[in-house]
Amino acid sequence: MRNTAYVYDPFNLRHTLEGHPENYRRLEQTWALLQRDGILDRLMQIPSSPAPLDAVLRVHTPRYIEALQQIADGGGGQIDGDTYVNPDSYHAALLAAGGLLNLTDAVLYGQADNGFALIRPPGHHALVHRGMGFCLLNNVAIAARWAQDRHGVGRVLVVDFDVHHGNGTQDIFYEDPTVMFFSTHQFPYYPGTGAADELGVELGHGVNVNVPFPAYVGDQGYLRAFRRLLAPAVRDFRPDVIFLSAGFDAHWMDPLAGMQLSITGYAALVEELLGLADDLCHGKLICVLEGGYHLDVLAHSVLTTFRVLSGSPQGISDPFGQPPEGERNVTQLIDRLANLHGFKAPPFYSLRA
């Protein structure tokens, strides 16, 4: 068993807009399932607190943060057509980022082996100068900089398996050789970024790895990408800590996308990341919630992730099973991406997952 920590603050439920897919019910229903299951009794709870402003400003501009606070103080409004702010949103966003920072402290100080931040609003679309795509603050980017600034971490890996490309995270670290960004996502799809040739620039060239999947890729394709592309990239990069932007909207039942992952498939991806973390950075894997808009799927995906992280003998919680139709074969795409990045097939490599 591993010592797995979590952070959760019910104030995050107060950032909500009725009729919007990113609403309070995402966390409420997930939290209810975790309580019924009893797994929380075996995990370490980390307290939540607002992120220090200096940590937020390591990623976002003062002008944007001031504007975000003003919108909330003025009763709320829209940043864009997808992204709302209500009177509680600014504080909820600070709590989301701050909770992740507290969890990061717990893992990097050795109090926990790994952890999961059950936070919202999500973050991976948020740019330096504005929010977008349901996201207000880029939580994982703030935590990556925190790990470097406060803990002396040299190299950070951010993996993002949300169905939408984490354009904000990519943009923030696009020139930075100390942060590797690896993303699997449906493409072309919102937000339109994440092409294979987006490799980073200047000193950051080569540490940005995109896997732009067509629709209907499922468990086998994702696992092949992790084994054929992520594993060699990470072993060469040798991170000191791994963050996972854990969006569960590539599930075959999610209403906002068109992929074929199952909860069992997600569990396999987290297992792969745990193995890499064990080999390269003493098991330091920190997950942060991003998307996932089928409420029951999201809840069971999070429960399953906690079971994998903690080594629970209860195993996978997947009442939905496999998609009714088979998945698209992306072997040739993955081979082309491996060639693009110069990843040679390891000895005895097989395309069979």
Name the burial class of residue 317, with classes exposed (0-12), middle (13-18) and buried (19+) by CB atoms within 10 angstroms of its CB.
Answer: buried
341 noted as active-site residue = no
Strands (E), the chain: 4-8, 44-46, 77-78, 84-85, 114-118, 156-160, 179-186, 208-213, 241-246, 285-289
CA–CA distance, 29 with 24 (Å, rounded to integer)? 9
CA angle 207, 212, 215 (to 5 degrees): 160
Q: In terms of Cα–Cα distance, which of 176, 174, 194, 173 is closest to 185?
A: 194
- Looking at residue 135, what DSSP letter applies? B
Nearest to 349 by CA among 262, 260, 223: 223
Distance CA 274, CA 231 (A): 12
Whether 87 contacts 73, CB under 8 Å: yes
Residue of 124, 125, 294, 300 marked active site = 125
Residue type, 80: D
Report the catalytic residues: 125
